[in-house]
A and B are shown apart, each in its own frame.
Chain A
Amino acid sequence: MKKLSLLCLCYLFACESGLTPPENVPSVANELSISAFLNPEEDTLRVLVLRARGLDEPPYVSDPLRYRVSGAMVSLEAAGNTVSFQEAINDPGVYWAPLRAEPGRTYLLRVKVNHLQKEATAEATVPGPFAITTYPPTPLKFGELLELKWQPSPYAVGYLLQFQYEWWRPRSPDRIFRTQEYWWGTIGNPTLKTEIRFDLYAPLFQRFNFIDSVEISPDIQVLIRALDEHYFKAAAVHKRADFWDEEEGLELFATQYSNFVGGRGIFGAFVERTVNFQIDSTYIYRQRPN
Chain B
Amino acid sequence: MYHVDDQRFFFGALVPRVEFDLDNCIRDLSLKQTLTFTGLSNHTFTAGVQYHNLAYDLYVATNIVDYNPSIATPTIHELSPFAEEVWHLKPFLQLTAGLRLNYFSNLEKVALAPRLMLTTQIHPRHTIKLSAGRYHQNVITANTEEDVLAPYEVWVPLQKQHQLSSAWNLTAAWIAELSNEYSFRTEAYLKDLSNVGIMNRDRFLDSDPLLHQYDGKAWGFEIFAEKKSGRLTAWLGYHFNRTYLNIAGRRVAPGYYRKHTFNLTGEYNFHKKWSAGFSWILASGQPYQLVIGEYEAPLPDGSGGGGLIETPTDFYTYPPYHRLDVSFFRHFHKKNWHLTLYLQIQNLYFQKNYVYPDKHVFLNDLERTDKFALPILPTLGLRFNL
Contacts and interface: CB of A to CB of B under 8 A. Distances in A.
B8 A239 contact: yes
A161 to B, nearest CB: 9
Contact of B306 (A20, A186, A244, A256): A256
B227 interface: no
B369 A18 contact: yes
B202 A255 contact: yes
A22 B295 contact: no
A175 interface: yes
Interface in B356-378: 360-364, 366-370, 372
A256 B2 CA distance: 33
B381 interface: no
Given A186-B206, A234-B297, A255-B308, A180 B292 contact: no
A179 B17 CA distance: 22
Contacts of A79: none
A242 interface: yes
Given A11-B350, A183-B9, A236-B10, A19 B366 contact: yes
A16 B363 CA distance: 17
A264 B364 contact: no
Nearest to B368: A18
A18 B11 contact: no
A135 interface: no
B303 A242 contact: yes
A39 B354 CA distance: 49
Contact of A14 (B7, B294, B350, B362): B350
A33 B3 contact: no
A158 interface: yes
Contacts of B291: 55
Most chain B CB within 10 A, of A33, A37, A180, A193, is at A33
Interface residues on B, range: 35 or more
A63 interface: no
B305 A234 contact: yes
A33 B294 CA distance: 10
Contacts of B178: none
A3 interface: no
B297 A33 contact: yes
A242 B204 CA distance: 13
Nearest to B310: A255
Contacts of B38: none
A238 B370 contact: no
A242 B318 CA distance: 30
Contacts of A181: 6-9
Contact of B295 (A21, A52, A243): A52
Contacts of B1: 173-175
B293 A253 contact: no
27 contacts: A15-B352, A17-B372, A25-B363, A28-B292, A35-B298, A35-B305, A37-B300, A39-B300, A48-B297, A53-B293, A53-B296, A54-B293, A55-B291, A177-B4, A178-B7, A180-B8, A181-B6, A182-B8, A239-B10, A240-B14, A240-B17, A242-B304, A248-B19, A254-B308, A265-B306, A266-B305, A270-B300
Interface of B: 1-14, 17, 19, 63, 201-202, 204-207, 290-300, 303-311, 315-316, 318-319, 350-352, 354, 360-364, 366-370, 372
Interface of A: 11-12, 14-22, 25-26, 28, 31, 33-35, 37, 39, 48, 50, 52-56, 60, 67, 158, 173-188, 193, 203, 207, 231, 233-240, 242-244, 248, 250, 252-258, 264-266, 270
Given A19-B361, A33-B297, A53-B293, 13 more contacts: A25-B363, A50-B295, A174-B2, A175-B1, A179-B6, A186-B206, A187-B13, A235-B299, A238-B299, A243-B10, A252-B307, A254-B308, A256-B308
